[in-house]
Amino acid sequence: MIDLSALPSLRESLETHGLLANKGLGQHFLLDLNITRKIARLAGPLEGRMVLEIGPGPGGLTRALLEAGARVVAIEKDARFLPLLNTLQEASGGRLEVHLADALKVDEAVLSAGEPASVVSNLPYNVGTALLIKWLTGPWRPQSMTLMFQKEVAERIVARPGDDAFGRLALIAQVMCEARIVMDAPARAFTPPPKVDSAVVRLDPRSDPPEPSRVAAMEAVSQAAFGQRRKMLRSSLKALGGADLCEAAGIDPTRRAETLSLDEFLRLADARLQRAN
Ligand code: SAM
């Protein structure tokens, strides 16, 4: 195991470099290595694996990922952290690469040099959902994702049909992946503490995800259905075929979006594709 104990503590490193959190970049740091080690365990096994870490910041989670044996490609938007991350890079025995970039714009396939890689991150809250959608629907697919979100967002990702939080995010996440909350993190675990609690979600891609055309049709249906979630499907889906579309999919048109299962949404997507052909 790599020994990073000679490095100054995260708190000391932040002080030495005069670094204060920038809230505009969603900066809430995990400075307790017991917490970051737990996240690395939940993301594991990591020995010899490639991990993309978004927003390493001062590098608390990065240290834990390196200790667990991962090769880490870190993408950080805030240049102020580079000197601190360079020190970690020197101690990493060649297992840490740092890129100064916006994670929304990077090409993960290029950064991972075509190798399979997992994503592990204490995500910046302001772009967390957009990044998740990118990895769920984009051309590059991670091997697994272990991601810290605001608790409310985590609950929207794992919500089941019938739950109040069940909506478009749960649908796309669960059609593409198995998704579960694996850890709760109270606001006091972060420096500075955010206003709300957080949770870590682990997402493991399904071995037989639907074709991109079915996913796109499902997204169109769910956008319309959840756009007017209190209405019956025959009216919320009117522009896409309303009651006829529901009947073609074998679904009662008087039902509402939040009661439909993942499979029923895919049946509506298939009916929509058939009508379009
Ligand atoms: N990983 C560190 C930790 O756990 O202590 C920091 C997590 S902090 C919640 C989010 C990090 O993401 C910050 O370092 C922030 O600068 C960075 N960040 C924000 N927006 C980003 C973006 N679009 N691309 C890459 N990094 C970003």
CATH assignment at residue 227:
1.10.8.100
149 lines ligand 1 (CB under 6 A): no
**Boundaries of domain holding 31:** 10-205
What tens digit of pLDDT does each residue of 205-230 get? 999 999 999 999 999 999 999 999 99
User: How sure is the predictor about 1, in pLDDT bands with cuts at 50, 70 and 90?
Assistant: low
124 Cβ closer than 6 Å to some ligand 1 atom: yes
- Establish whether residue 77 lines the binding site of ligand 1, counting it when its CB lies within 6 angstroms of any ligand atom: yes
pLDDT for 96-128, tens place per residue? 999 999 999 999 999 999 999 999 999 998 999
5 in any annotated domain: no
Ligand 1 neighbour 175 (Cβ under 6 A) = no
Same domain? 137 vs 243: no
| Same structural domain, 181 and 229 | no
Is residue 76 located within the same domain as residue 30? Answer: yes
Ligand 1 pocket residue status of 33, Cβ below 6 Å: no
CA-based torsion, 242, 243, 247, 250: positive or negative: positive
Mean pLDDT across the chain, nearest whole number? Answer: 96
pLDDT of residue 276: 82
Alpha helix ranges (H) inside the chain: 10-16, 33-43, 60-67, 82-91, 108-111, 128-137, 151-158, 168-176, 212-227, 233-236, 242-248, 262-276
Look at residues 188, 205, 222 and tell me which one is the last residue of a structural domain: 205
State the pLDDT at residue 163. Answer: 96
Q: Which residues neighbour 54 within 8 Å (Cβ) at sequence distance 6 or greater?
A: 74, 75, 103, 119, 121, 123, 124, 131
Of 9, 107, 122, 132, the residue with max ligand 1 atoms within 8 A of its CB, to mutate for a pocket test, comes to 122
Within this chain, do residues 115 and 231 fall inside the same structural domain, yes or no?
no
Distance CA 85, CA 96 (A): 9
Residue 60 near ligand 1, beta carbon < 6 Å? yes
CATH code, 101: 3.40.50.150
* 4 is a domain residue: no
User: pLDDT tens digits for 236-261?
Assistant: 999 999 999 999 999 999 999 999 99
Over residues 138-185, the pLDDT tens digits come to 999 999 999 999 999 999 999 999 999 999 999 999 999 999 999 999
Together in a domain, 101 and 238: no
How confident is the model at residue 23, as a pLDDT?
Answer: 86
Q: pTM here?
A: 0.96
Look at ligand 1, atom 11, and give the residue with the nearest C-alpha. 55
148 CB less than 6 Å from ligand 1?
Answer: no
**Half-sphere exposure of residue 176: CA atoms within 13 angstroms, side-chain side:** 29
Give yes or no for residue 277 having a pLDDT over 80.
no
Alpha-carbon span 158 to 167, nearest angstrom:
10
Nearest CA to ligand 1 atom 3: 29
Q: Is any ligand 1 atom within 6 A of the Cβ of residue 244?
A: no
Q: Residue 183 corresponds to which tokens in the numbers above?
A: 């850890």
Residue whose Cα lies nearest atom 12 of ligand 1: it is: 55
Q: What separation, in Å, do the N-terminal and C-terminal C-alpha atoms of the chain show?
A: 57
Tell me, using a 6 A CB cutoff, whether residue 103 lines ligand 1. Answer: yes
Distance CA 186, CA 151 (A): 9
Instruction: Determine the Cα–Cα distance for residues 249 and 153; give it in Å rounded to an integer.
Output: 30
- Shortest-distance Cα residue to atom 10 of ligand 1: 124
What's the gap in Å between 136 CA and the centre of ligand 1? 20
